[in-house]
Amino acid sequence: MIANLNTVFKLDFDFPPSKAKITLDDKVYLSGSCFSDEIGGKLSIYKFESLSNPFGTLYNPISIFKSISGSLNKENTIESGGVFYHWDCHGKISGLSNGEVEKQVEITQVSSTNFLSSATVIILTLGTSYVYQHRSTNEIVANCHKVPSKEFTKQLLTKEEIVQSFSDLYSNLNSNLKIVLTVSPVRHIRDGLVENNLSKARLIESVYEIVQAHENVSYFPSYEIMNDELRDYRFFAQDMIHPSEQAVDYIWKKFSDHFFDQKTKTFIDDWNKVLSALNHAPFQPKSKEHQRFLKKTMSTLENLKDQIDVSNELKAIQKQIL
């Protein structure tokens, strides 16, 4: 007997909606691997007040947690290839002098701390359990910045180290925060596929223990959705490592269903229609039909302005109305 085709070609992965809901009223801080940027980008599109990866893409949990704690030493810079970087930041924070980088770190840390002081949600995407420890300082770095590997010791974090690092951070956070942890679905193939699986397993095990210990911390299974439900390579980008745009949209839909309340879901549906209207390129912009379309879109925006800031969208429409 042939099994149901859906069972053969796709394993559905269903999990109950979260009790802790995220709404448009929430202020969301995101940090971690590039998947944080993907989710942060979606939140920005849908008008959430959010801040994503202010220190750049970070991968290991120690560096991610450290960036949130506000304990970065602005003077912890390094020169590599004539460019200056910071050991605790992604390469996007760089300059041609120590002072330039130190200033960037200081400004970023102030703005990040200010945002976190009133944030209601933190979403952290953990990428790898492997860390690089600088031999001369014994400090774990967030990025090696193309410095020769001989200057580092590579090690796999233990579950205890990850859990303790989160506990140290958690003790300094607002107890009312909603915290979401997820494991990045992006493979770290530089470590090797076997090593990548070991690294991800260590993260999943650690996150499971953290979630069990804290009521306001939840887990979103982006890794499992990508690798168990969307396991076909057609859902990966050309590099066969990162999720494709289609996969990101699918995981975003799962995220929405899991965390958003009905009011927020309804708004997102309405906003998608607005985005479609705003992106519409007419053959005849001055036609009566298109002018009616613009006025209808403006009316929709007017109805939404009590929920979100639509001033830019209204200005864009007004410029087109005759």
Q: Where are the domains of the chain?
A: 18-260, 261-322
Separation of alpha carbons 304 and 161, rounded Å: 46
Whole-number pLDDT of residue 3? 45
Using DSSP bridges, classify how beta strands 178-183 and 121-126 pair: parallel, antiparallel or unpaired: parallel
Comparing C-alpha atoms, which of 75, 35, 65, 68 is closest to residue 54?
68
User: If we measure between CA atoms, which residue out of 167, 159, 172 comes closest to residue 70?
Assistant: 172
Quickly list DSSP for 26-91: -EEEEEESHHHHHHHHHHHHTT-EEEE-TT----SHHHHHHHHHT---TT-EEEETTEEEETTS-T
Rounded to a whole number of angstroms, the distance between the first and last alpha carbons of the chain is 65
CA distance 67 to 140: 12
Q: Name the token pair of 4.
A: 């149901």
- Hey, CA dihedral for 42, 85, 171, 168, is it positive or negative? positive
Class of domain 18-260: alpha beta
Q: What pLDDT sits at residue 10?
A: 67
Distance (Å, rounded) from C-alpha 38 to C-alpha 116? 20
Q: 148: how many CB neighbours lie within 10 A of its CB?
A: 8
Q: Locate tokens 């109305």: which residue?
A: 321
Question: What is the pTM for the complete model shown?
Answer: 0.91
Give residue 230's pLDDT.
87
- For every residue of 284-319, DSSP letters joined together read -TTSHHHHHHHHHHHHHHHHHTTTS--HHHHHHHHT
Tell me the C-alpha distance between 149 and 187, whole Å. 21
CB 236 within 8 A of CB 248: no
CA distance 319 to 154: 57
Run means of pLDDT, 10 residues per run, the chain, 322 residues: 51 82 96 92 95 96 94 88 96 95 96 96 97 95 95 97 97 93 91 93 98 96 91 85 91 95 92 87 86 89 88 88 84
Query: What pLDDT score was predicted for residue 6?
Result: 52
DSSP per-residue string spanning 84-142: EEETTS-TTSEESSHHHHHHHHHHHHHHHHHHHHH-SEEEEEE--SEEEEETTT-PEES
Residues 6+ apart with CB under 8 A from 150: none
DSSP element (H, E) containing 256: helix 245-259
State the pLDDT at residue 1.
Answer: 39
